[in-house]
Amino acid sequence: MISPNDHVLFFGDSITDCGRNRDAAPGDPSGWGNGYVHQLAARLSADLAHYDLTFSNKGISGNRVTDLENRLESDVLALQPNLVSILIGINDTWRRYDRDIVSPTAEFAASYRRILERLTSQDREIVILEPFLLPVPDDRRAWREDLNPKIDAIRDLAREFETTFVPLDGIFAAASTRRESGFWLPDGVHPSPAGHALIAEAWLQSVIG
């Protein structure tokens, strides 16, 4: 999925953003943030040094799927990446519980579909990362009512558009049987360094093999 001179772009919310320098030019490591994007860019830069790859992080904290759709042209298509990795969805659930902003699953899926239609209108690789959640604190368990249908919709879209799919919700659930949930996601949503490493490893296994 990755070829010499490719531009790999990561698109999402705070989990992708992770403190990146938003003024950084494509390829500038200060723009990678300090999460899974940084881990992946560093790893691939070393393992595929002869490929001369470029990496861009276009995560913005707090974004929902409609925010990604609204900035798709300026933050993604204008940069002409060869591979786009998407992680979005948890804020569409979170806003229901902290601000009473409901994102119906049908509307969520329709917006995500429009993003994929535009991305696949040109020849590029797409990687979809499943949003994830662990019960830290315990009230996060109630969020499953909203999140699970969105995860199902994302899986359906990944199947329809024949994208690479990284099943992170299941991966974090399995990891939480090895160490307590807070070790991986201290607030149930945002990963610890170990949690970011889990994402990076799953991405590599799905994309590189």
Q: What is the DSSP string of 47-103?
A: HTGGG--EEEEEE-TT--HHHHHHTHHHHTGGG--SEEEEE--HHHHHHHHHS----
What tokens appear for 120 in the block? 């696949």
For residue 85, is pLDDT > 90? yes
For residue 53, is pLDDT > 90? yes
Task: Tell me the β-bridge partners of 8.
Answer: 55, 83
What tokens appear for 107 in the block? 């509307």
Query: Tell me: domain 65-207, CATH 3.30.460.80, correct?
Result: no
pLDDT for res 124: 96
pLDDT for res 202: 98
Q: Where are the domains of the chain?
A: 65-207
For residue 27, is pLDDT > 90? no
Q: What is the pLDDT of residues 110-168, one digit of tens each?
A: 999 999 999 999 999 999 999 999 999 999 999 999 999 999 999 999 999 999 999 99
Find the helix packing angle between 193-207 and 36-47, rounded to 10°: 50
Rounded CA gap, 10 and 14, in Å? 12
Residue 38 pLDDT class (50, 70, 90 cuts) = very high
CA distances from 49 to 2, 25, 26, 55, 156 (A): 12, 19, 17, 13, 35
Letter for the amino acid at 164?
T
pLDDT for res 46: 97
Residue 1 pLDDT class (50, 70, 90 cuts) = very high
pLDDT above 90 as % of the chain: 98
CA angle 91, 114, 111 (to 5 degrees): 30
Residue 190 pLDDT class (50, 70, 90 cuts) = very high
Q: What is the mean pLDDT of residues 10-27?
A: 95
pLDDT above 70 as % of the chain: 100
For residue 209, is pLDDT > 90? no
Rounded CA gap, 115 and 27, in Å? 24
